[in-house]
Amino acid sequence: MRIFVDCDPGIDDAVALAYLTARPEVEIVGVGTVFGNHTVDTTTDNALRLLRLYGAPGVPVARGAERPLVQPPTLAESVHGANGLGGIDLPAAETGPAAESAAEALVRLARSAPGEIDVLAVGPLTNIALALSLEPRLPEMVGRVVVMGGAVRAPGNVTPWAEANTANDPEAAEAVFAAGFDLTLVALDITMKTTVDAAWLDGLQLIDGERAATTSAFLEFYVGWYSEVIGERGCAMHDPLAAAVLLDPDLVTASVDVPVRVELQGRHTRGLTIADLRPGAAAAEDPRPSVRLVTEVDSGTFLKRMADSLRQG
């Protein structure tokens, strides 16, 4: 399985990289970085350091967008820490980023192996939108695309209605959802129902090795922030769940195919993701292509596989 990962590490992005790098059948053909949880310079440096930590130092990293298509950027230091990784200082990588941008890397890879490369997008969708402008046939040239983003029936996490990755670049998300990719959306609707609890976090601390110990240290900061939100020790695992849905589609136990739009105008609702979920609503009459919105997963198996991915190394 060949995967291009577009991300903004970011603590849950880090756990998603751990999930992918633990699986022998996965070849990460490239990592694109984007502003979001931190500046793109920091997310790029973090991606390089994380790939070294997780035993994949040879994966090329392409620096992507430093700002959204239209609005000014905002960062999330309160959630992910001053360095985007909970203040944990990882050893520097031995290599730097590639000369090409993330969008250029994705287009080059897609053209070189049409239909063979899947995309995991777990940051603002700016790089994917830029890749679409470089290559409008991109939806036909990649395999599955799994996006972590949006909040359809769930509350938002950066505004009352909007999820961070969508709110960070609503125009990019709108372009990507309209483009006709074979796209699965892992939104807050499912990630906020698939949280880890104190027992899972305590279990992680019992796993030997650098991989688990360092990931556990990242998570301490994240859990500090999340525990306030969910009212007990625990946290959401947004990006690893998207990675798991790409690798293990059998984890999805219910989904609905619907066109999804992003609100671009609303004074209070900019970045909101809208899907017509009324019973009997005819998606077939909507000219916009549908995306697959995940509504239920096998959370027990996901949580076990996520812990297993941290056992090695």
Catalytic residue annotation? 238
Contacts with ligand BDR in 233-262 (CB under 6 A)? 238-239
Among 3, 4, 12, 47, binds ligand BDR (CB under 6 A): 12
Q: How does strand 260-262 pair with strand 273-275? A: antiparallel
For the chain, the 3-state helix, strand and coil shares in percent, each to the nearest 5, are 40, 20, 40
Interaction residues for ligand BDR, span 173-232 (CB under 6 A):
none
Site for ligand BDR in 97-156 (CB under 6 A): 122, 148
Tell me the sheet residues that pair with 32: 6, 62
Contact assessment for residue 293 and residue 185, using Cβ atoms and an 8 Å cutoff: yes
User: Considering only residues 76, 85, 103, 223, which one is a binding residue for ligand BDR as defined by CB under 6 A?
Assistant: 76
Contact 51, 23 (CB under 8 A): no
Which residue blocks in 146-249 are alpha helix, DSSP H? 164-168, 170-178, 188-191, 198-205, 210-230, 238-247
Site membership for ligand BDR, residue 38 (CB under 6 A): no
Phi-psi region of 36 (alpha: psi -120 to 50; beta: other; left: phi over 0): left
User: Does 122 help bind Ca ion (rule: CB under 5 A)?
Assistant: yes
- Tell me if 141 sits within 8 A of 241, measured CB to CB: no
Contact of residue 163 among Ca ion, ligand BDR, none (CB under 5-8 Å per partner type): ligand BDR
Q: Smaller CB distance to Ca ion: residue 123 or 234?
A: 123
Q: Which candidate, 76, 72, 71, places its Cα nearest to that of 8?
A: 76
Interaction pattern, residues 157-196, with Ca ion; x per rule: CB under 5 A: ----------------------------------------
Encoded one letter per residue, x for contact with Ca ion by CB under 5 A and - for no contact, window 220-249 reads: -------------------x----------
Q: Taking the CB of residue 204, how many other CB atoms lie within 10 A of it?
A: 18
**Of positions 123, 150, 170, 271, contacts Ca ion by CB under 5 A:** 123
| Residue 106 structure tokens | 């994705």
Least separation in angstroms between CB 79 and ligand BDR:
6
Give least dist CB 187 to ligand BDR, A: 9
Minimum CB distance to ligand BDR smaller for 104 or for 163 = 163
Q: Among positive and negative, which fits the CA dihedral 147, 151, 156, 157?
A: negative
Piece of 26-34, 123-131, 182-190, 291-299 that binds Ca ion (CB under 5 A): 123-131
- Residue of minimal Cβ distance to ligand BDR: 164
Three-state secondary-structure class, residue 174 = helix
Binding site for Ca ion (CB under 5 A): 8, 10, 13, 122-123, 239
Q: Name the residues that contact ligand BDR, by CB under 6 A.
A: 10, 12-13, 37, 76, 79, 122, 148, 157, 163-165, 238-239
